[in-house]
Amino acid sequence: MPDHRRLGRELELFHADPLSGAGLPLWLPAGAAARHSVEEYVRELERRAGYQHVYSPPLGKRELFELSGHLGYFADDMFPVLRLSADDEFVLRPALCPHHALVYRARGRSYRELPLRIGELGGMYRPERSGVLGGLGRVRAISLNDAHNFCAPEQVGAEVAEVLELIRAAHAALGVRPAGFRLSLRGPGEKYVGDDGMWRRAEELLRAALAGLPYVEAAGEAAFYGPKIDIQVRDAAGRESTLSTIQLDFDKPERFDLSYTDARGRRVRPVMLHRSLIGSMERLFAYLIEVHAGAFPAWYAPVQVRVLPVGPEQVAAAEVFRRDCVSAGLRAELVVDGSLGARIRDAALRRVPYAAVLGAREVSAGEVALRLRDGRGVDPMAAPDALRLIAGVVASHSADLLP
Ligand SMILES: [Zn+2]
């Protein structure tokens, strides 16, 4: 597998500038276009699965993170507190959960609303040491595909199973090949909240959800508030890291005094499930760039179609086809300089899935000839049919360039 930092430079996906700071990469237009498609896809996947999306600020009051336990148990992994004045201190958040707990308790909740799934693709911050930073693999500003699912205790098993199913769907569309499941458990030490009974209950639920799947157990890899299922991927150097997670939390509902009214009018504590289908955009793309060698599935390729007129006489018709592609929701560009052979080679080198060639014969017949980045060619076809073919592949989130 190639190195995502080199490919990220060559394909102009992202840029590291010392003035921006280590671990604070800039997403260039091509990388941003790919990321935008992925964000749109996952938001829609979640919407269909009953998630409601919110926005919350990337920093919050110190007291919020005292209440959540982050300042007590997780301060080493957080930026220092920002102080405006003695009674006005802020924290660059290391996680979105505290804000989502506030969303939950913005009003009273009924059992009829559960599971209540609050989703956000939000920013959070970790002060990683500068020595471990590089490219997108490890960053200090993290854009996380996150959600917190508030469940009645008896709903947790089914909810975990459903999240696993969503993770499978997202991985299939993105071309993620998981390296395995890991059940991350508590280790020795004082850095965990909650009592033994709570941890045992949570572990049992996650073990049941993993029944039938191959997984390893890892002591000491749990979050400070509960055990989790990690879905691992492997990078170019063979290093394993966590992409998707499902974490069980009985602690934050206590700390934030979250409740709902059950069918008999009693006040009951919900269980909080932290889950990420595809992890952070940064780590995800570090992985995707390498696993696809930059040749993303068409649906999130930065440029999906390069339109290549053979000569100056075909430029006008090529521009019409490019505009039609853009109107159909595709990312398309016109390239006129250089020999046709060089332009076809360059399109493939830039990992553009489709080159649409228009010569004199094609233009007079109202056709285009598609060339795929893997070298395959398609017989010339009517321009609207070619457009429909590409738009169809994109809409289906297929990894194949032909239907
Ligand atoms: Zn969380």
* 393: phi then psi, degrees, rounded to nearest 5: -60, -40
**Tens digits of residue pLDDT in 31-40:** 999 999 999 9
Higher pLDDT, residue 390 or 205: 390
Instruction: Find the mean pLDDT for residues 8-32.
Output: 95
The one-letter code for the residue type at 391 is A
Which single residue is written with the structure tokens 């019409």? 320
Rounded distance from Cα 345 to ligand 1 centre (Å): 45
Looking at residue 2, what is its pLDDT?
Answer: 82
Residues 229 and 207: their CA atoms lie apart, in Å, by 9
Rounded distance from Cα 29 to ligand 1 centre (Å): 30
Ion ligand 1 contact residues with beta carbon within 5 A: 97, 274
Q: Give, as one character, the DSSP assignment of residue 114.
A: P
Residues 170 and 172: their CA atoms lie apart, in Å, by 5
Rounded distance from Cα 75 to ligand 1 centre (Å): 16
Looking at residue 1, what is its pLDDT?
Answer: 64
| Residue 257: alpha-carbon gap to chain centroid | 30
Higher pLDDT, residue 35 or 2: 35
Residues 367 and 302: their CA atoms lie apart, in Å, by 25
Looking at residue 8, what is its pLDDT?
Answer: 96
Rounded distance from Cα 48 to ligand 1 centre (Å): 21
Rounded distance from Cα 121 to ligand 1 centre (Å): 12
CA-closest candidate to residue 86, choices 62, 58, 59: 62
Instruction: Find the mean pLDDT for residues 82-102.
Output: 95
Q: What integer best gives the mean pLDDT of the chain?
A: 94
Q: Could you tell me what percent of the chain has a pLDDT over 90?
A: 82
**Tens digits of residue pLDDT in 211-249:** 888 899 999 889 888 899 999 988 777 888 899 999 999
**Tens digits of residue pLDDT in 298-343:** 999 999 999 999 999 999 999 999 999 999 999 999 999 999 999 9
CA angle 59, 101, 253 (to 5 degrees): 135
DSSP for 3-40, please give it: -HHHHHHHTT-EE--TTT-TT-PEEPHHHHHHHHHHHH
| Residue 82: alpha-carbon gap to chain centroid | 29
What pTM, to 2 d.p., does this model score?
0.94
**Tens digits of residue pLDDT in 49-72:** 999 999 999 999 999 999 999 999
Looking at residue 360, what is its pLDDT?
Answer: 97
Give the DSSP H or E segment for 229. strand 228-234
Rounded distance from Cα 97 to ligand 1 centre (Å): 4
Rounded distance from Cα 212 to ligand 1 centre (Å): 26
DSSP for 299-361, please give it: GG-SS-EEEEESSGGGHHHHHHHHHHHHHTT--EEE--SS-HHHHHHHHHHTT-SEEEEE-HH
Q: Inform me whether the pLDDT recorded for 183 exceeds 80.
A: yes
Residues 169 and 182: their CA atoms lie apart, in Å, by 19
Instruction: Label residue 131 by pLDDT band (50, 70, 90).
Output: confident
